[in-house]
Amino acid sequence: MIKITIAEVSKKYNLTQDTLRYYEKIGLIPHVPRNNNGIRNFDEESCRWIEFIKCMRSAGMQIEVLIKYISLFKQGRETLEERRNLLIEQKEKLVEKYTEIGNTINRLENKIKIYDEIAEGKRKDFMEEP
């Protein structure tokens, strides 16, 4: 079983030590073992929670929703459907954002193509637009 310090976890997951302490304080990392001196010794389970939190945060999930999810998790199997729904809702938001990003990329590509055509002399009927 692994036991790593907060400094090592901070480096491994590219999170500040303050962020890790905050996540623990608000209950996002359900249980971080400590040694006899009270120093955190992150184990595999706490590291899996950190990975999950990072994934959900990068997906845009708000801290409040994560707190709710973990609270539901702690309540056990009877909350499976509610947790599932939270994840589905987050996935739908992410898919919407993905579509929005795709549309933005397409607009940028079209705009770049126009500039390329002007630079190559293939286009003369350009009107400046935003």
Backbone torsions φ then ψ of 42, nearest 5 degrees: -65, 135
pTM (two decimals): 0.78
Pick 56 or 114 by higher pLDDT.
56
What end-to-end distance do the CA atoms of the chain give, in Å? Answer: 57
Checking if the pLDDT of 128 tops 80, the result is: no
Percent of the chain with pLDDT over 70: 95
Checking if the pLDDT of 127 tops 80, the result is: no
Would you call 40 helix, strand, or coil by DSSP?
strand
Q: Which range has the worst mean pLDDT, 97-101, 102-106, 117-121?
A: 117-121
- Domain ranges across the chain: 1-58, 76-124
Fold of 1-58: Multidrug-efflux Transporter Regulator; Chain: A; Domain 2 (1.10.1660)
DSSP of 20-62, one letter per residue? Answer: HHHHHHTTSS----B-TTS-B-B-HHHHHHHHHHHHHHHTT--
Smallest CA-to-CA distance from 2 within 48, 32, 41 is with: 41
> Mean pLDDT across the stretch 53-70?
95
